[in-house]
Amino acid sequence: MKFQKTAAILTAALLMTGAVGILPELPQTAITANAATSGTYGSMTYTLYDSYAEITGFDNSASAVTVPSTIQNVPVTTIKASAFAQGSKLQSVTVPNTVTTIGDKAFYNCSSLTSVTLPSSVTSIGASAFERCISLQKITLPAKLGTLGNSAFSGCVYLEELTFPGTLSQIPSNCCDGCTNLQSVTIENGPTEIGYRSFKDCTALVTMYIPISITKFYGWDSFSGCSIKTVYYGGSSLQWNAIEKLSVIGSPTVYYAKSNPPKRLTPDINADGAINAVDAAVILRYAAYYGAKGTATIDEYLAGKR
């Protein structure tokens, strides 16, 4: 003990006289925090970071919402999980072209929502994002969409038609489960699988456009409860028969791109016994995207040629 006290006194004296150099300071590492601040924008709440902003909530006071492209000069890139969920008064939403991500359950159970405008910038839509939006009749998925979560449109009972872009790797499980008014589905060339219960209980679904890229119907009942009458497939009959069909699709008439297509076009495109807006929509889609290019006749288009 006496030795320790003596050593301490000597060390202090040496430091005071400069006999022992003072140890250099350790280098300091600068830490920059991406500080977050919260606030309100109209009926919405947000979280603001240094380089991006997120819409986090909604007070359900408005029937129409336009998400801002910037807040305090910072781009809005994300609609967070459940941000508009249970918004019973919300009827229409416009999303700006700065947004890339729509989170899980972002619009879950927005029972009055009829119209959603999604920009081409959106690359990810989360699970159950529009589940139980029972008034939603139409939505156009962005051409660069890379991720679509399970049950994204489950229970959208008034949704009539849907086109899946070729940038998706698969049609997710339960994607349109219970969409009882869904009559026409187009899958662009790209996805390789149709997921488990993707179109379960889509009782009005009578027409499918399936690309050559599909190699598997994933799940035993991807089409359980459907009444599919017509399939337009992008490949040959041999390729169709080679698909791993782990699910029930019934016994539809299949038209192949590499066989003789129907020689005559009937106005009842989806063969449901009525000539209606769904038939007109198919013809108009052909005219807009294929007729103008002159790359395929309408019969070839209906047979699945892309």
Task: Region of 161 please: left (phi>0), alpha (psi -120 to 50) or beta.
Answer: beta
Burial of 106 (0-12, 13-18, 19+ CB in 10 A): buried
Strand order through the sheet with 216-217: 170-171, 193-194, 216-217, 244-245
Phi, psi of 191 (to 5 degrees): -60, 145
State the pLDDT at residue 168.
Answer: 97
Among residues of the chain, what percentage have pLDDT more than 70?
75
Q: Any idea which residue has 């002159």 for tokens? A: 294
In angstroms, the CA 117 to CA 84 distance is 15
CB 39 within 8 A of CB 48: yes
State the pLDDT at residue 287.
Answer: 67
- pLDDT tens track for 177-215: 999 999 999 999 999 999 989 999 999 999 999 999 999
C-alpha 44 chain-centroid distance: 22
- pLDDT tens track for 82-124: 999 999 999 999 999 999 999 999 999 999 999 898 999 999 9
In angstroms, the CA 259 to CA 238 distance is 11
State the pLDDT at residue 277.
Answer: 79
Which residues are 65's β-sheet partners? 93
Question: H-type helices in the chain, by residue range?
Answer: 2-17, 237-242, 277-286, 298-302
What domains lie within the chain, and their CATH numbers?
A: 36-149 (3.80.10.10), 160-306 (no CATH)
State the pLDDT at residue 300.
Answer: 60
- pLDDT tens track for 239-255: 988 888 766 677 889 99
- pLDDT tens track for 27-71: 443 333 457 999 999 999 999 999 999 999 999 888 999 999 999
In angstroms, the CA 99 to CA 74 distance is 12
Nearest Cα neighbor of 211 from 239, 244, 235 is 235
CB 120 within 8 A of CB 145: no
In angstroms, the CA 68 to CA 226 distance is 40
Which residues are 193's β-sheet partners? 170, 216
Phi, psi of 15 (to 5 degrees): -65, -40
State the pLDDT at residue 220.
Answer: 57
Burial of 7 (0-12, 13-18, 19+ CB in 10 A): exposed
**What is the reported pTM?**
0.73
Average pLDDT on 9-13 reads 49
